[in-house]
Amino acid sequence: MTRPFEIGSVIAALKSVIGPTQGPVALHEPSLDGNEIRYATECISSGWVSSVGSFVDEFERRLSAITGAKRAVAVVNGTAALHVALLLAGVRPGDEVLVPALTFVATANAVAYCGAVPHLVDSDAATLGLDPRKLDAYLKEHTTSRGGARVNSSTNRRIAAVVPMHTFGHPVDLDALAEVCARFEIPMVEDAAEALGSRIRGRHVGTWGRLSIISFNGNKIVTTGGGGAILTNDEALGRRAKHLTTTARRPHPWLYEHDEIGYNYRMPNLNAALGCAQLEKLDSFVERKRALAAGYQHAFADMEGIRVFREPDFATSNYWLNALLLDPENAVHRDGILRAAHQEGVLARPAWTLLHRLAIYADCPRMDLSCAEDLQRRLINVPSSAALSRTKLVATS
């Protein structure tokens, strides 16, 4: 038995998963019911709330243990993490960096901070992230190898990095992308901002790229209030990341000596205290978010013309944000659904405006973006807080 597509039924299905609530339901809210207050109090009592303190070291150690990355460097936010990761990957002014058109604006902004040009590439409907086959064909046709560098044949600019992004926490096909990047000798830097807790065959994302980044913004699966981290398996790059994000100060008991122009990007100890408490809950967050995703899958299973995005076969996703995908013929109803959902207090959202549709990036070089365009027209993100899975009883009734 199937149910016909109808805006009213879509809203009813969403509400059946979310359950009874007081007030509007946000797209994503943090859960702060662990040791957050205890550690923050400990941090404040110690007096070490700022640039020095044990919580930062502990947070980095725990991140490294969770992800399997040899080194994690905590910084002020995910955008700053990506800025420094790109610099350390060798991105220089005048270079081009391949980024998906379907991403949060920060991915491209970090490229621009390096004085480089974002070069927009298409997504794959199976992962919502960078399409390795399309990338491969594009690099073959539009780039050449020149003096040990990969160069865009039409702009003559060096392609300095590829930045895959794990959309809504769902892993991209990293094995395939790493193979393409290796073949064309372009460093890969993963924007894993949304993907803490996501794995591919047991291995945590953020460990394929030469460097990777995670965000701990208030709306991500784990938050430090605001924060980010750089991950790498290369010890030397890890040391460089720490140095560059701490004003490049040379270690000395009292002297202020700085051997390059560094950044004041270090995560404050107070934020790291919050982060230590949050990381203790990561497994339960992932479990609850996966249960919520299963609830959405169930609620829409028999509805025609719409489905809930499901993680690719090779991956175990953290399901940071759930996404409804309208069939192409129902894309015209996207805004109707968003309007009706908001009227009912369900704060659903469309995907980000594609980067080439923003005036600031309209002139960037780009490949055919038909898949990203198509996804953007018919995708709707729905409330995905871990706390909502407490109501999953309603979803499966």
Ligand X SMILES: *Cc1c(COP(=O)(O)O)cnc(C)c1O
Question: Which position among 39, 55, 59, 104 is part of the footprint of ligand X (CB under 6 A)?
Answer: 104
CA-based torsion, 141, 192, 372, 128: positive or negative = positive
Distance CA 255, CA 257 (A): 6
**Residue 309 Cβ vs ligand X, minimum distance, rounded to whole Å:** 16
Question: Which position among 36, 124, 131, 191 is part of the footprint of ligand X (CB under 6 A)?
Answer: 191
Q: Choose between 116 and 165: whose C-beta lies nearer to ligand X.
A: 165
How many other CB atoms sit within 10 Å of the CB of residue 64?
17
Point out the residue whose Cβ comes nearest to ligand X.
78
Q: Choose between 67 and 330: whose C-beta lies nearer to ligand X.
A: 67
Q: What is the dihedral of CA 314, 279, 64, 183, to 10 degrees?
A: 30
**Residue 106 Cβ vs ligand X, minimum distance, rounded to whole Å:** 4
Distance CA 90, CA 92 (A): 6
Q: Choose between 107 and 198: whose C-beta lies nearer to ligand X.
A: 107
Distance CA 193, CA 229 (A): 9
Question: Which position among 43, 86, 87, 106 is part of the footprint of ligand X (CB under 6 A)?
Answer: 106
Distance CA 284, CA 69 (A): 21
How many other CB atoms sit within 10 Å of the CB of residue 240?
20
Residues 162, 143 contacting (CB under 8 angstroms) = no
Q: Choose between 58 and 191: whose C-beta lies nearer to ligand X.
A: 191
Q: Is 222 in the site for ligand X (CB under 6 A)?
A: no
Tokens standing for residue 3: 């149910």
Question: Which position among 17, 36, 56, 79 is part of the footprint of ligand X (CB under 6 A)?
Answer: 79
Which H or E run contains 272?
helix 269-279
Show contacts with ligand X in window 192-221 (CB under 6 A).
193-194, 215, 217
**Residue 274 Cβ vs ligand X, minimum distance, rounded to whole Å:** 14
Residues 299, 383 contacting (CB under 8 angstroms) = no
Interface with ligand X by CB under 6 A: which range of 34-42, 76-84, 138-146, 388-396? 76-84
Binding site for ligand X (CB under 6 A): 77-79, 103-104, 106-107, 165, 191, 193-194, 215, 217, 228
